[in-house]
Structure 1
């Protein structure tokens, strides 16, 4: 099966870690839904914040102030045929985190 790997980073501004991760999961999902790969490839979201992974899988557990981000993301994911989200270790996500901290917007797409 062919794979498409996209590394997404974006400057969010001042926010706490869980909100930043939720926004980035939503942004990555939005990019995927708008792409041509939505009809031919599965979406695998990787997140280094285990709470966010749990909240996407069980949205009833999300704190109220973060609920709008979860609901928007789940609405986008309803347009994806096959998707999954998994937790990755923080060091595996260093590239995206460091770019975001520098205030960069980057989208790198790799084909395999």
Structure 2
């Protein structure tokens, strides 16, 4: 699980930026080549766009292409849609207004 404060953006962009940051963190880990990264999102749009950036809205394409470039540098990455209820902890952190300098990263 990953949570970080971000600038004020729409929900899709916030999800894209969170996924990009999580993938960058995974890229820096020593087991990046020996483990599969599983990205979970409660946004059907973002899951679809991460899988196929060409489907994204024009305003998100640049960020998704950056994410795609980062994704290519890791071994294997799977992206799946989860229900909003499964994302309760991260949503609560977002609603509580984590300060920008705070970062939460839980690896299970």
1:51 aligns with 2:45: yes
Question: Could you say which residue in structure 2 is the equivalent of 1:3?
Answer: none
| Inter-partner Cα distance in structure 1 for 2:97 and 2:26 | 22
TM-score (norm 1): 0.87
After TM superposition, the runs of 4+ consecutive aligned structure 1 residues lying more than 6 A away are none
1:22 alignment counterpart: 16
Other structure's SS at 1:86 match:
strand
Of 61, 66, 74, the match for 1:67: 61
**Alignment partner, residue 106 of structure 2:** 108
- 1:99 and 1:106 in contact (8 A); partners too: no
1:83 to 77, 82, 85: 77
Cα shift readout 1:24-76 (whole Å, capped 9, x = no counterpart) = 11011001001112021001100000000001111111111111110111001
What are structure 1's unaligned runs of at least 5 residues?
Answer: 1-6
Q: Which runs of 5+ in 2 are unaligned?
A: none
Partner of 1:97: 91
TM-score computed with the length of structure 2 as normaliser: 0.90
